[in-house]
Amino acid sequence: MARMRRFEFSGGITHVMSRGIDGMPVFRDDDDRHAFLARLGSGLKRTGFKCYAWALMNTHYHLVLRTNEHRLSRLMRSLNGGYAIRYNRKYSRNGYLFQDRFKSVVCHDQEYARELVRYVHLNPLRATVVPNIEALKSWFWCGHRALLGDKRGCSWQNTSETLRRFGRFASEARKSYIAFLNAGLDIAASDPVNTTSGNIPSDSFPRKHQEFVLPGIVGDPDFVRAALKANRFDKIAQKRYLHQGWNLKRLEQFVTAAFSLEDATLATRGRLSPRSEARAAFAFLAHE
């Protein structure tokens, strides 16, 4: 089966999710969760990545990260791999712990970052682990409490940059953040995590740009164009980029829209941008 192309964008916001193989629990007790958070903190310090939101569920976890010049895999190899070794040793088991490779989506900043923080921090409500937002502030295993001032066990979480997206001053920002969470409760109730595929639901992103949700990238046309161009010469990329529901015709339509071209101009000769860039992006994505 073809695997989804991994996009990386230095300095961009990335939503990461990893799930236990066959839906098995990856966290059996609080000791496991503390060990995972400690490993995450060490990895963030080593890479310089920033974590804006996170949630540990029984069978999976979510992170919202801002990356830099380092590859995401530098963090994830030690995070998932090192944690799996510890887990297998503790529970006397062998084999893989996490299902396939981790999922990641590069997202346009601005409104997307706020939406992702909300989506991730409402996961415990979506899974009915906690009953309401008031109870969420005392739930230890997601970054919501840190944004309200309780950073026990997650001193590495970048709360200042996250809160600045909601207001100039901390008190004002927290009120705005809580209001934003409350406004998303209907979304949390109607958009359950896909527990079988492990995919990151596209509905977690703003509706106004749904037409620009490509597997691995979400954003407005300018951002998608920049992300495609930044990944164009990635020599160690996966050779195949075919995703369920995507074919060459749909891909051509997407690239044409992303580069603001008229219909059927991809095949037109010429080296002028943005047409040549669009053709290169199409060839890069369609390559098997």
Tell me which of 205, 238, 271 is where a domain ends.
205
- 144 and 240 housed in the same domain: no
Residue 174 falls inside a structural domain: yes
Give me the CATH number covering residue 84: 3.30.70.1290
- 114 and 232 housed in the same domain: no
Tell me which of 205, 233, 265 is where a domain ends.
205
User: Per-residue pLDDT averaged across 35-64, rounded?
Assistant: 97
Q: Which domain holds residue 251?
A: 221-286
- 156 and 228 housed in the same domain: no
- 192 and 76 housed in the same domain: yes
Tell me which of 180, 205, 230 is where a domain ends.
205
**pLDDT value for 169:** 95
Bridge partners of 16?
63, 104
pLDDT in tens, 127-183: 999 999 999 999 999 999 999 999 999 999 999 999 999 999 999 999 999 999 999
Residue 214 falls inside a structural domain: no
As a whole number, the mean pLDDT across the chain is 79
- 168 and 52 housed in the same domain: yes
- 192 and 256 housed in the same domain: no
**pLDDT value for 206:** 46
pLDDT at 201 over 60: no
How many CB atoms are closer than 10 A to CB 25? 14
What single letter denotes the amino acid at residue 273?
S
Domain count, the chain: 2
Residue 213 falls inside a structural domain: no
Residue 252 pLDDT class (50, 70, 90 cuts): confident
**pLDDT value for 237:** 41
pLDDT at 95 over 70: yes
* SS3 of residue 65 by DSSP: strand
